[in-house]
């Protein structure tokens, strides 16, 4: 409605008096995003000490219900958000990637804490992945060791801002192209990313270099004298 004439809307149509307080004009994106930002369902799983802070965030003092996020789902098939809360070990990353693949679109990932974001105090340890973003796409990083519940809430609000910025015409899950699943890493003697298979084949099929020829042995002293 225009300010000058409240009975006429911006398109020039007259609005009947009984509708003047009941009609709102907005965009489809805004309505769509408002519904999604207040109904993000996180997946219920935790990896290490950061998970305790996540549990605390969901309890009554901080109250995730204010954000419509209190329904933590025990199944990836009902979840929109994966909160990676804790140290990501090489043994655990195949399960994390598999769970991510099982989540339906739209889906988001929040890396909670120094460990999930980059390895944390265990970075480059023999059994720890240096950040979950090496395997799954991360939308929000929350720093800290551990992050406080307030920090996690701030990260969740940042996720809501990201959802607000999306447009129904541009999101990947309504596009025509298939969204390929992420190859699940293999845990062997060390972690193997199947996406590196070609490189691994090339490197392991290289023939080892021939050993250098041994220097000729000196003639025995007796033979030399005769
Ligand atoms: S970031 Fe700190 S608190 Fe969180 S899982 Fe790693 S060591 Fe534990």
Q: Which residues pair with 73 in a beta bridge?
A: 43
Q: Which of the residue ranges 6-10, 43-47, 151-155, 208-212 would you say has the lowest mean pLDDT? A: 6-10
Identify the structural domains of the chain with CATH numbers, from first to last.
1-37 (no CATH), 41-183 (3.40.50.12280)
For ligand 1, atom 8, the nearest C-alpha belongs to 49
pLDDT confidence tier of residue 2, bands split at 50, 70 and 90:
very low
**Model confidence pLDDT, tens digit, residues 40-72:** 999 988 999 999 999 999 988 998 888 888 889
Is the Cα torsion angle 160, 164, 166, 172 positive or negative in sign? positive
Cα–ligand 1 centroid distance for 112 (angstroms)? 9
87 lines ligand 1 (CB under 6 A): yes
**Model confidence pLDDT, tens digit, residues 93-152:** 999 999 999 999 999 999 999 999 998 898 888 889 999 999 999 999 999 999 999 999
Give SS3 for 114.
helix
132 lines ligand 1 (CB under 6 A): no
Report the distance separating Cα 57 and Cα 150, nearest Å. 8
Cα–ligand 1 centroid distance for 122 (angstroms)? 9
| Full DSSP string of 153-204 | HHHHHHHHHHHHT--TTT-GGGSSS--PPPPPPEESSSEE-GGGHHHHHHHH
114 lines ligand 1 (CB under 6 A): yes
């Amino acid at each position: 409605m225009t300010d000058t004439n409240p009975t006429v809307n911006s398109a020039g149509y007259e609005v009947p008096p009984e509708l003047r307080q009941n009609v709102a004009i907005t965009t489809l994106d805004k309505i769509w995003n408002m519904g999604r930002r207040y109904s993000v369902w996180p997946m219920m799983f935790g990896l290490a000490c950061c998970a305790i802070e996540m549990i605390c965030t969901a309890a009554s003092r901080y109250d995730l219900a204010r954000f419509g996020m209190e329904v933590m789902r025990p199944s990836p098939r009902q979840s929109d958000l994966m909160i990676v809360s804790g140290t990501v070990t090489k043994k655990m990353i195949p399960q994390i990637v598999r769970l991510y693949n099982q989540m339906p679109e739209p889906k988001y990932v929040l890396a909670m804490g120094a460990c999930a974001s980059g390895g944390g105090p265990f970075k480059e340890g023999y059994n720890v992945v240096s950040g979950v973003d090496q395997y799954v796409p991360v939308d929000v990083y929350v720093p800290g060791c551990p992050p406080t519940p307030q920090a996690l809430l701030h990260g969740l609000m940042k996720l809501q801002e990201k959802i607000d910025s999306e447009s129904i015409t541009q999101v990947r899950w309504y596009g025509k192209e298939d969204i390929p699943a992420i190859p699940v890493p293999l845990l062997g003697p060390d972690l193997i990313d199947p996406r590196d298979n070609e490189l691994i084949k090339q490197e392991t099929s290289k023939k080892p270099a021939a050993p250098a020829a041994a220097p000729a042995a000196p003639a025995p002293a007796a033979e030399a004298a005769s």
